[in-house]
Amino acid sequence: MEYEIVIGLEIHSELATKSKIYCSCTTEFGGIPNTHCCPVCTGMPGVLPVLNKNVVEYAAKAGLAMNCKILDFSKQDRKNYFYPDLPKAYQVSQFDLPLCVKGYIDIDLNDKKKRVGITRIHIEEDAGKLIHDEWETGSLIDYNRCGVPLIEIVTEPDMRSAEDARVFMESVRSILKYTEVSDCKMQEGSLRADVNLSVRIAGEKELGTRTEMKNLNSIRSITRAIESEAKRQIDIIESGGSIEQETRRWDDEKGLSYSMRSKEEAHDYRYFPEPDLAPVIIDANWLDRIKSTLPELPDERKKRYIDQYKIPGYDAKIITASRETADFFEEAVGLSNNAKAVSNWIMGDLMNLMKNSECEEIPFSPSHLANLIKLIENGVISGKIAKTVFKKMFETADEPERIVEREGLKVVNDEGQLNNIVSAVVKSNPKSVEDYRNGKKKAIGFLVGQVMKETKGKADPQMVNKLLKDELES
Ligand code: ADP
Ligand code: MG
Ligand code: ZN
């Protein structure tokens, strides 16, 4: 049997506002436990929350960037449950009237487009953190994260593979970073996802029974969890069993998921409207102003780069995935007027060095790269030596001219100096010289190599070729 995998994601993203959703405590990550809180965010009796307007603005921005309709009337609701990291015993969220509905993101799968529907985006507050590790006698609670604003992005069940989910998550991250709605640091939990997954026989119309895996905090663990869960479900169906609707916990170290609770044990959250907060009413002019602050988004930028700079679609996609890289590209092209060269350096050496050093920011400025390109264009250094200079530039952030000067990397194109080396090489390699003179023209390659070796790769290869030919054919 051929099976089809069906995936819907619920993505939580912490917003980049300076203060929390209902009080003025800082949202800064970390800090000494329980120092970023006040009576409001620790849920003391009798306090009154006040909605942070920036939270609405950031969430609306995310909604607009994901092609959602922004409801002009939405409200906040209490989602009731008890857990020690939630001192109020309810989370303020949005239930039946979320801020944003009915959007979509077009994802780019190896030049095939696919539209993933966004069911809704709502605002809510984060909970605190339990720390179990260090104390054998009990658990400790850090309330610093209580009340940090979140958006939850719920998708339609439109994804069909781990690859779809990976590309979708990358698009979401890219959009949230472009719009500066979230810093999306997955290692700090700023972006995390619940994976809902079912399988069905290919061609079947009805959806299968789904399971949900909660709180996956890296794209890698999302794709691994999907592959493992799809296989688990298919194996059960193949052996005549049926899937139970349940919540599962993914253990990334073991590469396995475990049942947490079944449908029967599922919470009834007893949602009801939050009586301490007024409905959120969106003014059309205000929303227009927000719209006008949206930056050019990754997809539009990609199209423009292909048109304007004539770089390949693949390069454009990778360069525009991060706003920093895209801005860097554009500035370097502006200074060097050589889009293809800038794109090649970014796609090749830069991406490699960043990956290998786990560096997240480009350590030198666009003018460094533009100057390096000019050094090659003006024949000051060879393309090969430029790679060495680039690596040094990456490590030290020094200007390329300084590196070339300091390390003596300029092209050797002094005819007299090169001629001496050529003569010496010809003298000490009689076999190759004879081969060449007997018609094996390829033998010159070896001799060029010897001259290059003598000059540590700095000789102007065209000049070396010409001088060698003159010498061999005289
Ligand atoms: P809940 O709020 O209980 O988690 P929802 O119905 O709102 O449930 O669905 C949550 C997520 O599950 C959505 O992303 C949705 O697309 C996805 N989903 C729903 N049914 C299925 C299914 N049969 N297979 C895969 N995903 C599903
Ligand atoms: Mg859910
Ligand atoms: Zn507070």
Atom 13 in ligand 1: which residue has the minimum CA distance?
A: 8
Token digits of residue 187: 């290692």
Pocket-testing residue among 93, 196, 261, ligand 1, by greatest number of atoms within 8 A of Cβ: 196
Q: Would you put residue 296 in left (φ > 0), alpha (ψ -120 to 50) or beta? A: beta
Pocket-testing residue among 7, 210, 268, ligand 1, by greatest number of atoms within 8 A of Cβ: 210
d(CA 81, CA 269): 6
Residue 417: phi, psi to the nearest 5?
-65, -45
- DSSP result, 119-140: EEEEEEE---EEE-SS-TT--E
Ligand of minimum distance to the alpha carbon of 11: 1
What is the model's pLDDT at position 21? 98
CB proximity list for 6: less than 8 A, separation 6 or greater: 157, 159, 160, 197, 198, 199, 200, 207, 208, 210
Antiparallel, parallel or unpaired: β 3-14 and 191-201: antiparallel
Alpha carbon of 312 to ligand 2 centroid (Å): 39
Report the nearest atom of ligand 1 relative to the CA of 158.
16
Alpha carbon of 147 to ligand 3 centroid (Å): 7
Domain 415-472: which topology? Arc Repressor Mutant, subunit A (1.10.10)
Alpha carbon of 157 to ligand 1 centroid (Å): 7
121 CB-contact burial (10 Å; exposed 0-12 / middle 13-18 / buried 19+): buried
Give the residues across from 80 on adjacent strands.
90
By three-state DSSP, how is residue 155 classified?
Answer: strand
What is the model's pLDDT at position 455? 87
Question: Do residues 8 and 196 lie in contact, with contact meaning Cβ atoms separated by under 8 Å?
Answer: yes
Alpha carbon of 212 to ligand 2 centroid (Å): 7
Alpha carbon of 169 to ligand 1 centroid (Å): 17
Ligand of minimum distance to the alpha carbon of 79: 1
Binding pocket residue ranges, ligand 1, CB within 6 Å: 6-10, 154-157, 196-198, 207-208, 210
Ligand of minimum distance to the alpha carbon of 23: 3
Alpha carbon of 197 to ligand 2 centroid (Å): 11
Report the nearest atom of ligand 1 relative to the CA of 266.
3
pLDDT of the chain along its 474 residues, tens only?
899 999 999 999 999 999 999 999 999 998 999 999 999 999 999 999 999 999 999 999 999 999 999 999 999 999 999 999 999 999 999 999 999 999 999 998 987 899 999 999 999 999 999 988 766 778 899 999 999 999 999 999 999 999 999 999 999 999 999 999 998 887 777 899 999 999 999 999 999 999 999 989 999 999 999 999 999 999 999 999 999 999 999 999 999 999 988 877 777 899 999 999 999 999 999 999 999 999 999 999 999 999 999 999 999 999 999 999 999 999 999 999 999 999 999 999 999 999 998 888 899 999 999 999 999 999 888 888 899 999 999 999 999 999 999 988 888 878 888 899 999 999 999 999 999 999 888 889 999 999 988 888 888 888 899 999 998 887
Report the nearest atom of ligand 1 relative to the CA of 196.
26
Ligand of minimum distance to the alpha carbon of 42: 3
Q: Where are the beta strands (DSSP E) in 367-446?
A: none
Ligand of minimum distance to the alpha carbon of 245: 1
Alpha carbon of 473 to ligand 2 centroid (Å): 80
d(CA 357, CA 355): 6
Atom 14 in ligand 1: which residue has the minimum CA distance?
A: 8
Report the nearest atom of ligand 1 relative to the CA of 6.
25
Residue 35, amino acid = T
d(CA 333, CA 312): 15
Give the residues across from 124 on adjacent strands.
150
Domain spans of the chain? 3-289, 296-407, 415-472
Give 5-42 pLDDT, tens digit per residue: 999 999 999 999 999 999 999 999 989 999 999 999 99
Alpha carbon of 150 to ligand 1 centroid (Å): 19
Pocket-testing residue among 6, 119, 154, 245, ligand 1, by greatest number of atoms within 8 A of Cβ: 154
What is the model's pLDDT at position 135? 67
Question: Do residues 282 and 60 lie in contact, with contact meaning Cβ atoms separated by under 8 Å?
Answer: yes
The model carries a pTM of 0.86
Task: Give the chain as a 3 state SS string.
Answer: CCEEEEEEEEEEEECCCCECCCCCCECCCCCCCCCCCCCCCCCCCCCCCCCCHHHHHHHHHHHHHCCCEECCEECCEEEECCCCCCCCCEEEECCCCCCEEEEEEEEEECCEEEEEEEEEEEEEECCCEEECCCCCCCCEEEHHHCCCEEEEEEECCCECCHHHHHHHHHHHHHHHHHCCCCCCCHHHCCEEEEEEEEEEECCCCCCCCCEEEEEECCHHHHHHHHHHHHHHHHHHHHCCCCCCCEEEEEECCCCEEEEEEECCCCCCCCCEECCCCCCEECCHHHHHHHHHCCCCCHHHHHHHHHHHHCCCHHHHHHHHHCHHHHHHHHHHHHHHCCHHHHHHHHHHHHHHHHHHHCCCCCCCCHHHHHHHHHHHHCCCCCHHHHHHHHHHHHHHCCCHHHHHHHHCCCCECCHHHHHHHHHHHHHHCHHHHHHHHCCCCCHHHHHHHHHHHHCCCCECHHHHHHHHHHHHCC
CA-derived radius of gyration, the chain: 30
CB proximity list for 117: less than 8 A, separation 6 or greater: 102, 103, 104, 155, 156, 158
Under DSSP, the state recorded for 26 is: B
Atom 5 in ligand 1: which residue has the minimum CA distance?
A: 154
Alpha carbon of 46 to ligand 3 centroid (Å): 14
d(CA 85, CA 142): 8
